[in-house]
Amino acid sequence: MAVNYTQAIRGQFFDITQPSDDPAAIAEHARYLEDGLLLTEGGHIVGLYNWSEGSQLLRSTDDVADYRGKLIVPGFVDTHLHYPQTEMIGAWGEQLLSWLETYTFPVERQFESEAHAIQMSAFFLNQLLSNGTTTALVFGTVHPQSVDALFRVAWQLGMRLIAGKVMMDRNAPDYLTETPEQSEQQSRELITRWHNKGRLNYALTPRFAPTSSPELLAAVERLRTEFPDTWLQTHLSENPQEVAWVKSLWPEQKNYLGVYDSYRLTGRRSVFAHAIHLDDDEWNCLQRTESAVAFCPTSNLFLGSGLFNLQRCQQQRVRIGMGTDVGAGTTFSMLRTLGEAYKVAQLQSFRLSACEAFYYATLGGAHALDLDSCIGNFMPGKEADFVVLDPQATPLQRLRDSHCRDIYERLFVLMTLGDDRNIWQTWVNGQPVWSRDKCEVAA
Ligand code: GUN
Ligand code: ZN
């Protein structure tokens, strides 16, 4: 039997073949091939086979990219981060609201400059790729040029990326606030320019309820009605002072999520970052509206925001993606983020399995973004975005890995000890775009 392919890749493969909001079902759909062959064509997956059967499909074994000894998984999906905050990662001493005032807003001001935005976009996307992240849902700043710059660089790389201009019209410095009319018009122009252009999509991005007037959220609602296939990203119940502030700003609403829900900003393509301090009604609202949450463990620990209740979220069958939340988060590495997620669960006497963790970082994240028909695993027709991991990047990892008895132990050690040193190569659209030996993005 002959099949058309342009790339043939041999190695160990792990993925989850079907999305599910039921954690018990995730492991049932796990697939591990000890000696596998992946064929791609035109940036899409043709199929993943056991070497013994797949090798029969090859024109010749000469043109196989041989990654035996490496572990290949779908590209990581980061469901929440801020590219303009890259340069202020690891800022000392503050919790959310004073952290925003002290560090974040002054740094975001610089994205008025298009040259700065382009320079930081290139740096940021290189960080994603060097950490094995091939898709992300990203905040820009209030400046439309920040998003133009990011999309332009992502377009050149052929990455699947969702991003949006921050919308905010109160409770922030004058230099970062706008009118609801400006915000609506600039967002509309960006949607027209970039939404559904190749692999790029637009997300409406009201920063969070405290920086939004009722008029601003009404503008977001109008845009969502006008462009119903756009995404929406914002923050929800990250910090107790923030939650109290929202209560005082919106006394007529029954809770924090109620503010967004009353403007019909919940739903399938809505991603709420953090969701730590929720009441029963808010959990039920997330479930009923099929909204997703971004679990950002390094950020929640770093800012002292609180512990995300993963067990409750699973019980409610709410879609979950992982977020690094740079610059409040302390790493671009999804492996490190999974390791911290495990610890956040441990602090609540809940055990996160390696299988679930890798699901959330790949297909589960894609499902949270409503992109699971395009990315997240090695099923035929999916976009060929994947990462080649080296499980033995350091002497300690080599020693520990040699004691692993199965793939789950191996994955768990990777998420516990691993970081960007374990990323050997990152492929986007069926092409290698980042390699450890070159340490740079291929042009
Ligand atoms: N809430 C509103 N803005 C932000 C932000 O930039 N980072 C985080 N972590 N939370 C926010
Ligand atoms: Zn954030």
Q: How far is the CA of 100 from the centre of ligand 1 (A)?
A: 7
Domain count, the chain: 2
Whether residue 1 lies inside any domain: the answer is no
Q: What atom in ligand 1 is closest to the CA of residue 210? A: 2
What pLDDT does residue 145 have?
A: 98
Question: CA–CA separation, 64 vs 327, rounded Å?
Answer: 39
pLDDT digits (tens, 9 = 90+) for 288-324: 999 999 999 999 999 999 999 999 999 999 999 999 9
pLDDT value for 110: 98
- Could you tell me the pLDDT band of residue 438, with boundaries at 50, 70 and 90? confident
* pLDDT band per the 50, 70, 90 thresholds, residue 443: very low
304 within domain boundaries: yes
- Give yes or no: residues 345 and 407 share one domain: no
**436 backbone dihedrals φ, ψ, rounded to 5°:** -60, -40
Judged against a pLDDT cut of 70, whether residue 234 lies above it is answered with: yes
The dihedral over CA atoms of 377, 381, 383, 387, expressed in degrees to the nearest 10, equals 40
pTM of the model: 0.98
Any idea what the CATH number is for the domain that residue 15 is in?
2.30.40.10
Cβ 12 vs Cβ 72: under 8 Å: yes
Averaged pLDDT, 179-204: 98
129 and 43 within one domain? no
Please indicate, yes or no, if residue 193 is contained in any of the structural domains.
Answer: yes
Please say if the pLDDT value at position 2 is more than 90.
no
292 alpha carbon – ligand 2 mean position (Å): 14
Q: Does 2 fall in a domain?
A: no
**In angstroms, rounded to a whole number, what is the distance separating the alpha carbons of residues 274 and 369?**
15
Residue 51 maps to a domain: yes
The conformation of residue 266, written as its DSSP 8-state character, comes to -
Q: Domain check: are 194 and 335 in the same one?
A: yes
Q: State whether 360 and 399 are in the same domain.
A: no
The whole domain housing 164 covers 76-368
Q: How far apart are CA 437 and CA 160, in angstroms?
A: 24
Among 171, 176, 208, 277, which residue has the most ligand 1 atoms within 8 Å of its CB, making it the best to mutate? 208
Same domain? For 36 and 152 the reply is no
How confident is the prediction for the chain on average, in pLDDT?
A: 97
What residues flank ligand 1, with Cβ below 6 Å?
A: 82, 96, 100, 104, 207-208, 235, 238, 299, 325, 328
Confidence at residue 440, expressed as pLDDT on a 0 to 100 scale: 58
Residue 295: strand pairing partners: 322
pLDDT per residue as tens digits for the range 76-110: 999 999 999 999 999 999 999 999 999 999 999 99
- Cβ(320)–Cβ(314) below 8 Å: yes
